[in-house]
Structure 1
């Protein structure tokens, strides 16, 4: 079923919209949630919560790209769950590792995940991503949007983990420089 049709079903408040979205995008959303949460049970709950959030938010939202919208909802729910689960102790999951890598780049508070949700900062990061060559943009997104482990990225790119880490370091430095030029305190 086409995304536009599924969105129309949400807008018309047809309950079959949730089932259609689940059928088409549950595997994708599960992969997003698993990378953040690290286990199937929590990932499945996050996807179910994301589908409920989609039902509650469409309308008034009218997503142009349903897969991205559902992934965004899943990601936010999964990150919130990690925050709750790790309130007393920090785990060694990909979420924590990726955010630790970004701590020195993002301005402001000690909570980089919260900083990413600030609209102005999102726009600045979006401009940075648009300025990158496609290969660098995909690498950055794989690590810091999809929370893929460096080892997985290296395997998919058929290169050494060290090469991936070096490229990511350079990309973080470029991001830091651009944010500095745009007036963000570093």
Structure 2
């Protein structure tokens, strides 16, 4: 049975680029059309559509490849949960060029150390962010994050989505935003009732 490599890449903000991670995955033998991504989502986000697609794509005997463990998860429980679920399905997990082997005590210990460092780094980033925001707020420089789309654009995005004629990728391209931004906008905007579904006067 041929082993299929499925890749996963993630970056935390819309301003970051996935090019380097994609190149690393392709360098490890993953076909470009088998790379799933999450753009603008942190590892602590429970809803990671790209990861869900990657986990659904791998089958018994396949290998899920990530450039680094912190791209897959940013907490120890999350990393262990994903790794254990993959092992239970007969799927290998590759961290870069290294295959995670749960039966190897040293390998398991190394995996736990990597997960612990990833969680520590994530906590440290959050702490520094909070401290930076507190300093900016005290200096009157923090006015809140401005929305990427105006209220009118958000309503129009919702209207276009509800027609069923536009995919998420189409809307992201049309409004020049990331796919996660489209999902967040749809979550904030109520469904616009059509004339046929509206109640008669």
Query: TM-score, with normalisation over the residues of structure 1?
Result: 0.27
Higher relative contact order (CA 8 A, sep 6+): 1
The structure in which a higher percent of residues are strand is 2
The structure in which a higher percent of residues are helix is 1
Query: TM-score, with normalisation over the residues of structure 2?
Result: 0.25
